[in-house]
Amino acid sequence: MVAAVPSHALMSRAAGEKSQGFDFPVIDFHAHVEPPLTIARALELAKERGVKIGVPEHGGRNQVLYDDTTLKQFIARLAPYPVYKGMQAEGLDWPRCFSKEAVAQLDFMLSDALTFPEKDGRLVRLWTPEAKIEDKQDFMDRYVAFNVRVISDEPIDIFANPTFLPEALVPEYDALWTKQRMTKVIEAAARHHVAVEINSRYNIPSLAFLKMAKDAGVKFSFGTNNHDESLGKLDYSLRMAKELGLTRKDMFMPAPPDRKPILWRKIPA
């Protein structure tokens, strides 16, 4: 029988660690473990790549985790393993699916703005071909506003996939993500103490965004957002960390159980 690994013990151990030339442990907080990938294989890959992992499961209405029972089962399933346990929130109303006490048992909460509400009420998955942009500037203004809303309204620790764009807009990334638009997202993250993910799947955000975020005092996390065995491949995250000169004080680490955002953030009705 595998002994359970208490989250506080894992965090305490990580607090004194250094990794890959940094003065902080390198952690992929966005490491999905989905069939056929097993938790045992995920841990093998993490060890090979010299990283620790945080495992988020999708949570909210009509998701894998949708109430306290499914959430507690997920936590118990991962308890024997040396991983951080998290949820990837889906939908702005996810806090109403769970009790605050149950969510506070997780190590971290992350969310993103990739499921985007269109003007007609449809929810469009921006990473799929269904994302068809007719007016780029109008889309960006609405998209930035939604980014800010996710950060401001959801009691999360990490804003994932920041500055993601639908495939058709990627060539215009630097033109569309103006300083003014970046500033709005960064100010929201700083105001609500939400860490920004440096994502190694999409190689985002840009160095310009990250420099602005660092200057604003925003903390950072690393993530692959993998759906295969690429978890822990943090090349872009590590390269940006070196460019920025990130140190322990710049990095996100899970809050103690009594200081989770779900417990102190005001949640809109």
Give me the residues paired with residue 88 across strands: 58, 110
DSSP 204: B
pLDDT given at position 2 = 46
Pairing between strand 123-125 and 115-117? antiparallel
pLDDT given at position 13 = 59
Angle, helices 179-191 vs 136-153, to 10°: value is 10
State the Cα angle at 82 between 76 and 87, rounded to 5°.
55
- Quick one: how far is CA 31 from the chain centroid? 10
Q: pLDDT tens digits, residue range 186-211?
A: 999 999 999 999 999 999 999 999 99
Intervals of the chain under pLDDT 70: 1-18
**CB count in 10 Å sphere of residue 244:** 16
Domains of the chain are 21-264 (3.20.20.140)
pLDDT given at position 269 = 77
Q: pLDDT tens digits, residue range 229-261?
A: 999 999 999 999 999 999 999 999 999 999 999
